[in-house]
């Protein structure tokens, strides 16, 4: 299908129709002086001009807490799956790329059916960034624009949106829209080219392909100890990260003491007991070990495992969330670049 164009009024009508259908529709809205994804009850609440959301859309595919199964103690169990249909509106390119990454994680090796079931029932409407956030550095990470994963990608060209729908789900929503003209497509290209350079409050002084090699030589660099001295191990950087996907599993029994529920909740590698294993052995007991681990996950381990450029998508949320102000990945990578020859 060719690329479409819809007016802002038409988009508003489309969102209203989706809401009226009774299916779950969530999108970006104002939350005090910030923005957040939440349930949409009116198309007027949708804010596609937002800078960044407090939490990433990860919360829709991997909720902060979810029930995995119910069981009888010593007996049978029944897996639980969330099969509710969801349309999510307003995913920025860096968050879309993050979702594509964790899609890959949960679909490989032991496929996680809880995740994939939820993901299959989602319709994703992404949008190019209109307002850069105070800490975004997506341009440095190659994530300022996105080319796959969404059902529709909207680009604000002033009076209207250019709408690209590569999937059947997306095309069905745009069946009445007119084709975009060459002029519209040129405007879209201008927006995307601008974002590829301008979403860059913290420029990285190397190519992302160089990060694994840089980190290969940086394991004993003093920066880890220096930064970690101010680290609360509060895991805020993990919690707000769109590509962090670690979880902890816990059982609880009902009052009959015979049946129970197994659930999982977000975990984070900065937390003190994250690496605590049987026998009470903690293989990342020191703050600097944990602090370093996150930066290695984003710059080396996950990229090498998945065969992708970087597992940090440059949303800048960790920078905003870190109270002591030590979480900025670019700051650390650039410090290493000053001292280490690639």
Partner 1 sequence: MSKPRVAIFDFACCEGCQLQIVNLEEEILDLLGVVDVVEWREAMSEQSEAYDIAIIEGSITRPEDEERIKDIRSKASILIALGACASIGGVNKLKNNFDLNDVKKCVYGDAADMPHLETAMTKAVDEVVKVDFKIQGCPVEHDELTYVLRSLLIGKTPEIPDYPVCVECKAKGNICRWEYSEQCLGPITRAGCGARCPSANNRCFGCRGYVDNPNVDAAKDVFEKYGLTVEDLKSRMVLFGSKQGPTL
The single residue among 180, 313, 321, 330 that binds partner 1, judged by CB under 8 A, is: 321
Between 198 and 272, whose beta carbon lies closer to partner 1? 272
- What minimum distance in Å lies between the beta carbon of 197 and partner 1? 28
Output DSSP code: residue 2. P
- What minimum distance in Å lies between the beta carbon of 72 and partner 1? 13
SS3 (DSSP) at 87: strand
Task: Assess 77 for contact with partner 1 (CB under 8 A).
Answer: no
Task: Assess 324 for contact with partner 1 (CB under 8 A).
Answer: yes
Cα–Cα distance, 59 to 266 (Å, whole number)? 10
- What minimum distance in Å lies between the beta carbon of 248 and partner 1? 9
With b for 16 or more beta-carbon neighbours within 10 A and e for fewer, the 122-152 pattern comes to: bbbbbbbbeebbebbbbbbbbbbbbeebbbb
Answer for the pair 4, 179: CB distance below 8 angstroms, yes or no.
yes
List beta partners, residue 86. Answer: 24, 122
Between 323 and 342, whose beta carbon lies closer to partner 1? 323
The single residue among 66, 226, 272, 331 that binds partner 1, judged by CB under 8 A, is: 272
The single residue among 39, 64, 203, 222 that binds partner 1, judged by CB under 8 A, is: 64
Between 222 and 325, whose beta carbon lies closer to partner 1? 325
- What minimum distance in Å lies between the beta carbon of 267 and partner 1? 9
- What minimum distance in Å lies between the beta carbon of 36 and partner 1? 5
Stretch of 8-16, 157-165, 251-259, 298-306 contacting partner 1, by CB under 8 A:
251-259
- What minimum distance in Å lies between the beta carbon of 29 and partner 1? 12
Task: Assess 36 for contact with partner 1 (CB under 8 A).
Answer: yes
SS3 (DSSP) at 216: helix
The single residue among 13, 45, 54, 261 that binds partner 1, judged by CB under 8 A, is: 54
Between 110 and 252, whose beta carbon lies closer to partner 1? 252
Look at residues 328, 288, 336, 339 and name the one whose alpha carbon lies nearest to residue 140.
328
Task: Assess 266 for contact with partner 1 (CB under 8 A).
Answer: yes
Task: Assess 107 for contact with partner 1 (CB under 8 A).
Answer: no
- Give the tokens for residue 24: 């779950």
SS3 (DSSP) at 253: strand
Give the list of residues 6+ apart from residue 103 with CB closer than 8 angstroms, or none. Answer: 61, 119, 149
E strands, the chain, in order: 4-7, 24-31, 34-39, 65-72, 77-79, 86-91, 122-127, 152-156, 160-164, 178-179, 247-253, 259-266, 276-277, 281-282
Cα–Cα distance, 70 to 227 (Å, whole number)? 43
Answer for the pair 293, 285: CB distance below 8 angstroms, yes or no.
no
Between 287 and 300, whose beta carbon lies closer to partner 1? 287
- What minimum distance in Å lies between the beta carbon of 31 and partner 1? 7
The single residue among 235, 299, 316, 329 that binds partner 1, judged by CB under 8 A, is: 235
The burial of 175, by beta-carbon neighbours within 10 Å (0-12 exposed, 13-18 middle, 19 or more buried), is given as exposed
The single residue among 193, 323, 339, 342 that binds partner 1, judged by CB under 8 A, is: 323
Which residues would be at the binding site for partner 1 (CB under 8 A)? 31-34, 36, 54-55, 59, 64-65, 73, 229-236, 239-240, 250, 252-255, 257, 265-266, 268, 271-273, 287, 320-321, 323-325
């Amino acid at each position: 299908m060719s690329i479409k164009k819809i007016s802002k009024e038409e988009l508003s009508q489309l969102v209203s129709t989706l809401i009226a259908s009774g299916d779950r529709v969530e999108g970006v809205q104002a939350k005090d002086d910030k923005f957040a994804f939440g349930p949409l009850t009116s198309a007027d609440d949708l804010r596609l001009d937002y800078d960044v959301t407090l939490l990433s859309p990860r919360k829709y595919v991997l909720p902060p807490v979810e029930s995995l199964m119910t069981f009888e103690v010593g007996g049978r169990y029944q897996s639980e799956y969330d099969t509710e249909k969801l349309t999510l509106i307003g995913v920025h390119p860096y968050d879309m790329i993050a979702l594509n990454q964790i899609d890959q994680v949960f679909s490989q090796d032991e496929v996680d059916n809880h995740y994939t079931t939820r993901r299959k029932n989602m319709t994703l409407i992404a949008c190019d960034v209109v307002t850069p956030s105070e800490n975004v550095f997506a341009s440095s990470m190659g994530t300022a624009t996105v080319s796959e994963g969404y059902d529709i990608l909207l680009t604000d060209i002033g009076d209207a949106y250019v709408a690209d729908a590569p999937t059947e789900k997306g095309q069905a929503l745009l069946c009445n829209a007119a084709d975009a003209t060459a002029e519209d497509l040129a405007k879209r290209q201008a927006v995307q080219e601008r974002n590829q350079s301008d979403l860059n409050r913290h420029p990285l002084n190397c190519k992302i392909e160089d990060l694994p090699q840089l980190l290969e030589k940086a394991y004993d660099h003093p920066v880890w100890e220096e930064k970690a001295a101010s680290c609360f191990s509060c895991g805020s950087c993990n919690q707000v990260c769109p590509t962090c996907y670690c979880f902890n599993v816990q059982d609880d029994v009902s009052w009959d003491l015979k049946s129970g529920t197994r659930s999982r909740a977000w975990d984070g590698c900065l937390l003190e007991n994250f690496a605590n294993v049987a026998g009470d052995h903690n293989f990342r007991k020191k703050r600097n070990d944990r602090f370093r681990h996150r930066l290695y996950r984003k710059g080396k381990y996950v990229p090498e495992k998945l065969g992708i450029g970087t597992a940090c998508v440059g949303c800048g949320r960790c920078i905003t969330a870190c109270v002591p102000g030590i979480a900025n990945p670019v700051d650390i990578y650039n410090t290493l670049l000053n001292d280490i020859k690639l």
